Structure 1
Amino acid sequence: MAQFDVIVVGAGHNGLVCACYLAKAGFNVCVLERRNVVGGAAVTEELWPGYKISRASYFPHLRKEIIEELNLEKYGYKHGSIEPRNFFPFKSKHLFLYSNPEKTAHEISKFSTFDAKQYLKFYDLAKSFAQTVDPLMLMPPPPVSELLKMMEGADVEWIIRDFLLTSAKQLVDELFESEEVKVALCLNSVGNTSMSPEDVGTSYLLALSEGSAGYSYAIGGSGAVSKALEKAAKDLGVKIFLNTEVEKIIIENDRARAVKLKDGKVLEARAIVSNADPKTTILKLVGQDFFEKEFIHRVKNLKNEGGQAKINLTLKGLPRFSCIDSTNIGEEHKAYVGMAESVDEIVKAYFRWRFHEIPERPPVYSFIQSAWDHSVAPPNHHTMSVLLRYVPYTLNKGNWNERRDELMQLFVSIYEEHAPNIKQLIENYEILSPWDLERLFGINSGHVSHLEQTLNQLLSFRPLVGLSNYRLPISGLYICGAGTHPGGGVTGAAGHNAAMIIIEDLKKSN
């Protein structure tokens, strides 16, 4: 007889969400985690005394339905919205984007009154599209034919054309005249991806970014999400084992029966669900011999090469941006910052990544958690998360142990063009290349969304046609991570959706 109803491999936030819902439905669940802490990439770690660092992900936006249904506020989860959403410094100007479209349009009017009017039209279309897609986030995605039927109204042709068949670059070129506005929207179109704004599908991501609620933060850092989920899971009876690495998922008679741990111990269950990325789950944990050759060939060729590096910093003061006058914590410190001088610069950086070269000027993003949450740093000190876009997983020259420090030099050189005091503020830092993200968090090729978020790897195509219902083609085997619908980000949606499918299957088998 199986020791558990369900074994969840990996205590990332999606794995924990999945475990909570399964236990809430009355099933006996255990979670096995390789590291000594839950959360996967959604962790807060005290890398330096007194500083709580969101070491990998730093923008948790857990679905409100999950927060309410799992009663996470009871377990200490507190969060807030980031406003303004974005700050883009340029050499002598700056641009804020707000959740309020009229306020954003007023900002844009500093660059172009035409663009301000265009933005309001664009926002209305993006919001309409986002509202159509949003309910699909908490369910297995429907076939594309059904999705298209859901899009109604006079603007449906424009929505399909602009957000499903067009690149972000082409769209902003058609809609706007100001280079600064184009840069801002192109930077927002490639979040959590290794895609170029010239790629079809980036307009889909841009529409969701601009047409939805915006960014949020968790008090205590990203790990606060995982800690609340851990407490909720334990209260529901879930058994969580840390420092417990799964070596193999055991298949017998075409069914997932058990997991073999690295120490040789075997644990049996009626169902196994993997929070790991699809490639790791299928190729490593299960093994190629249990699948058809064509299926394995497709899995091997899923796009998932990482394209971003994370730098964690502590600062002894606030950066002062030369394009804006402020002495205290201002809107520019509370927003998500994006830096690039032109769309062409973004595209050039992408092509350097394509050829496994470090870009000369990668797009830079940053967020100062302590500007909102004073619990993560000592008084008058700050934590900063920095993202460098288009940093390759593999290098055509050298390796990351030899070249990691180049990323810090790039960050400082670009950032001090806009905030000249940044270098003198830095106290401590940690550089995580895509290779480091794989090594630390077990993310194949260091892609934070597990798989690229191209249109042919989203919705009912994620991770492959026929697998968007979280079932793998072996009975009793499931996946629930960011490589499934709806994709990356700390939302918990994939874990929720997988749990609903597993509950349905287990009840049928009873």
Structure 2
Amino acid sequence: TRNVSSYTPVERDGRPTGLLVGGGERRTREAFARLTGGEREYQAWQRFYDMTGRVAQRIFPTLTEPLPTRDELRLRVDDEEAWRVLFEEPIGVAVEDRFADDLVRGVVLTDALIGTFADAHDPSLKQNRCFLYHVIGGGTGAWDVPVGGMGALTDALATAARDAGAVLATGHEAVGISADGSSAEITYRTAEGEGTVAARHVLVNASPQQLAVLTGDQPPTPAEGAQLKVNMLLKRLPRLRDSEVDPREAFSGTFHIAEGYEQLATAHAQAAAGRLPTAPPSEIYCHSLTDPTILGPDLVEQGYQTLTLFGLHTPARLFDRDNDAVREELLKSTLAQLDAHLAEPLADCLATDADGRPCIEAKTPLDLERDLRLPGGNIFHRDLSWPYAQEGTGRWGVETRHPNVLLCGAGAVRGGGVSGVPGHNAAMAVLEELDA
């Protein structure tokens, strides 16, 4: 569990300062007062997140149950103001009504924009759906990190599957699914050739587009990805211009860069007009501070850290003209925004590999589509959905037009949050049928 929620550096009246959220109520209250000069924004923050916390407690348990109807979920929420704020009007309305400080507004809004290219007032409300999943996770909205990293989680799942009698066949690429509603056959390809395996049910942990390819159906139009992903290994954490905050605290939560409310609006408008944002917004996570086991003991002893940067408002269309050149241009300007708040260049802190090259890699939406088959480079596989039943969603949100083929990846209803919810729900759908 992360002790610090976030740190957002900013320059006010010519001096470096920032907002540290976390480390206890008194510490957070003082941080708001340091930034804003009073109590108003902190009190507004508390009221707003008390509201989202109540909603989280009521909605989160439904994610692993059959889909409720919209009316049933509204009754479960049992708070008309919260329902209006989260489900009916653009989240920008609540942000502007409840908060006055531009930086505080921006910090609140960022949860609506992760992997989602939208304005705060987008009438589609896709920004609201993104915000909702961020604030209801775990029933609290708090971000927990799996000890040992996601690889350890995968290993645990594999062990549990094998213990239950499953055979895990690596190096087998599924290339086709034939299903008649009661039985199915999967065609796969290996280095030795093709083969088939029969099954009663097929659970597909792939995008809706890839599922359509496998079943021979017409693929849906990909939803455009809109993020820059940067992975880094550092010899040490950089010093901050804001001397009142320890870098280990600042980087242990979400480190927001160029994410003031107006900055986010400007970046979106520039990208929507086909231009790279002049001040690209991004945020950084340092998972090795929360869980040092993701690094080798020798690197931990030497003070090495991992940094993951997630850039916002960079839709795939911006990279079409020259992916490599635009990637480099965007990476340079994104890191410049970070450097503006550091007391030393980030480049001086980067580790180097055996050939002396800095340990940094950047991935655009086009890279993610090519390397991971993410449709349109979209990290959610498609636009996030509301957590209630709509036409065609089925009972569990994992059903497809083939009764015994279920979608258990991020593109399922209630998927896209690195939660495992679609996998659970696909398994429940199968068990429910077997028990019928």
Question: TM-score of the superposition, structure 1-length normalised?
Answer: 0.74
Contact 1:173 1:182 in 2 (8 A): yes
Q: Which residue of 1 aligns with 2:216?
A: 287
- State the SS of the aligned residue for 2:100: coil
Contact 1:185 1:206 in 2 (8 A): no
Cα gap change, 1:234/1:354 in structure 2, threshold over 3 Å: closer, same or farther?
farther
Does residue 18 of structure 2 align to residue 94 of structure 1?
yes
Q: Which residue of 2 aligns with 1:388?
A: 311
Contact 1:256 1:474 in 2 (8 A): no
The offset of 1:341, in angstroms, is: 5.0
Residue number among 285, 291, 296 corresponding to 1:373 in the alignment: 291
Cα gap change, 1:396/1:444 in structure 2, threshold over 3 Å: closer, same or farther?
closer
Does residue 322 of structure 2 align to residue 399 of structure 1?
yes
Q: Which residue of 1 aligns with 2:223?
A: 304
The offset of 1:381, in angstroms, is: 1.5
Residue number among 36, 54, 77 corresponding to 1:151 in the alignment: 77
Does residue 26 of structure 2 align to residue 107 of structure 1?
no
- Amino acid corresponding to residue 432 of structure 1 in structure 2: K
Does residue 266 of structure 2 align to residue 348 of structure 1?
yes
Q: Which residue of 2 aligns with 1:360?
A: 278
Cα gap change, 1:203/1:396 in structure 2, threshold over 3 Å: closer, same or farther?
closer
Q: Which residue of 1 aligns with 2:381?
A: 450
Q: Which residue of 2 aligns with 1:125?
A: 51
Q: What RMSD, in angstroms, separates the aligned Cα atoms of the two structures?
A: 2.5
Q: Which residue of 2 aligns with 1:273?
A: 203
Residue number among 82, 88, 110 corresponding to 1:165 in the alignment: 88
- State the SS of the aligned residue for 1:351: helix
1:483-498 maps to which residues of 2 (within 5 A)? 483-498=411-426
Query: Deviation digits for residues 261-300 of structure 1, max 9, x if unmatched?
Result: 1342111111111111122212x11122xxxxxxx5xx62
- State the SS of the aligned residue for 2:168: strand
- State the SS of the aligned residue for 2:152: helix
Cα gap change, 1:222/1:354 in structure 2, threshold over 3 Å: closer, same or farther?
farther
Cα gap change, 1:490/1:317 in structure 2, threshold over 3 Å: closer, same or farther?
same
Cα gap change, 1:233/1:151 in structure 2, threshold over 3 Å: closer, same or farther?
same
- State the SS of the aligned residue for 1:241: coil
Query: Deviation digits for residues 204-237 of structure 1, max 9, x if unmatched?
Result: 5445545624112223322221121112211211
Give ranges in structure 2 of 5+ residues lacking alignment.
Answer: 352-358
Distance between the aligned counterparts of 2:7 and 2:245, measured in 1?
A: 14
Residue number among 169, 186, 197 corresponding to 2:120 in the alignment: 197
Distance between the aligned counterparts of 1:285 and 1:208, measured in 2?
A: 29
Distance between the aligned counterparts of 2:148 and 2:174, measured in 1?
A: 29
- State the SS of the aligned residue for 1:495: helix
- State the SS of the aligned residue for 1:246: strand
Larger deviation: 190-199 or 202-211? 202-211
Cα gap change, 1:463/1:371 in structure 2, threshold over 3 Å: closer, same or farther?
farther
- State the SS of the aligned residue for 1:330: helix
The offset of 1:355, in angstroms, is: 4.8
Does residue 34 of structure 2 align to residue 116 of structure 1?
no
The offset of 1:358, in angstroms, is: 3.0
Distance between the aligned counterparts of 2:202 and 2:99, measured in 1?
A: 49
Cα gap change, 1:395/1:467 in structure 2, threshold over 3 Å: closer, same or farther?
farther
Contact 1:459 1:468 in 2 (8 A): no
Q: Which residue of 2 aligns with 1:47?
A: none
Contact 2:251 2:284 in 1 (8 A): no
Query: Deviation digits for residues 448-498 of structure 1, max 9, x if unmatched?
Result: 111122xxx222358954475311121211111111132222221211111
- Amino acid corresponding to residue 490 of structure 1 in structure 2: V
Distance between the aligned counterparts of 2:268 and 2:415, measured in 1?
A: 21
The offset of 1:330, in angstroms, is: 2.7
The offset of 1:165, in angstroms, is: 1.5
Cα gap change, 1:440/1:201 in structure 2, threshold over 3 Å: closer, same or farther?
closer
Distance between the aligned counterparts of 2:7 and 2:392, measured in 1?
A: 36
The offset of 1:436, in angstroms, is: 1.5
Contact 1:140 1:485 in 2 (8 A): no
Question: TM-score of the superposition, structure 2-length normalised?
Answer: 0.86
Distance between the aligned counterparts of 2:319 and 2:423, measured in 1?
A: 37
- State the SS of the aligned residue for 1:307: coil
Q: Which residue of 2 aligns with 1:43?
A: none
- Amino acid corresponding to residue 449 of structure 1 in structure 2: F
Q: Which residue of 1 aligns with 2:404?
A: 476
Cα gap change, 1:385/1:96 in structure 2, threshold over 3 Å: closer, same or farther?
same
Distance between the aligned counterparts of 1:462 and 1:186, measured in 2?
A: 26
- How many residues align? The count is 409
Cα gap change, 1:167/1:320 in structure 2, threshold over 3 Å: closer, same or farther?
farther
Distance between the aligned counterparts of 2:187 and 2:408, measured in 1?
A: 19
Q: Percent identity of the aligned residues?
A: 22
Contact 2:116 2:130 in 1 (8 A): no
Contact 1:167 1:203 in 2 (8 A): yes
Contact 1:309 1:388 in 2 (8 A): yes
Cα gap change, 1:311/1:275 in structure 2, threshold over 3 Å: closer, same or farther?
same
The offset of 1:435, in angstroms, is: 1.5
Distance between the aligned counterparts of 2:434 and 2:70, measured in 1?
A: 28
Q: Which residue of 2 aligns with 1:314?
A: 233
Contact 2:7 2:19 in 1 (8 A): yes
The offset of 1:82, in angstroms, is: 1.0
Does residue 242 of structure 2 align to residue 323 of structure 1?
yes
1:39-58 maps to which residues of 2 (within 5 A)? none
- Amino acid corresponding to residue 250 of structure 1 in structure 2: S
Contact 1:189 1:205 in 2 (8 A): yes
Query: Deviation digits for residues 428-450 of structure 1, max 9, x if unmatched?
Result: 11111111212222221111111
Query: Deviation digits for residues 145-187 of structure 1, max 9, x if unmatched?
Result: 21122232xxx22112111112222211100111111011111
Contact 2:20 2:28 in 1 (8 A): yes
Cα gap change, 1:323/1:464 in structure 2, threshold over 3 Å: closer, same or farther?
farther
Q: Which residue of 1 aligns with 2:371?
A: 440
Residue number among 189, 194, 201 corresponding to 1:264 in the alignment: 194
Contact 2:8 2:18 in 1 (8 A): yes
Contact 2:6 2:21 in 1 (8 A): yes
Q: Which residue of 1 aligns with 2:176?
A: 248
Q: Which residue of 2 aligns with 1:336?
A: 254
Structure with greater contact order relative to length (CA < 8 Å, sep ≥ 6): 1
Cα gap change, 1:416/1:484 in structure 2, threshold over 3 Å: closer, same or farther?
same
- State the SS of the aligned residue for 1:265: strand
Give ranges in structure 1 of 5+ residues lacking alignment.
Answer: 1-80, 289-295
Q: Which residue of 1 aligns with 2:355?
A: none
- State the SS of the aligned residue for 1:391: coil
Does residue 349 of structure 2 align to residue 425 of structure 1?
yes
Distance between the aligned counterparts of 2:291 and 2:319, measured in 1?
A: 40
Contact 1:90 1:341 in 2 (8 A): no
Distance between the aligned counterparts of 2:382 and 2:330, measured in 1?
A: 23
The offset of 1:101, in angstroms, is: 6.1
- Amino acid corresponding to residue 85 of structure 1 in structure 2: S
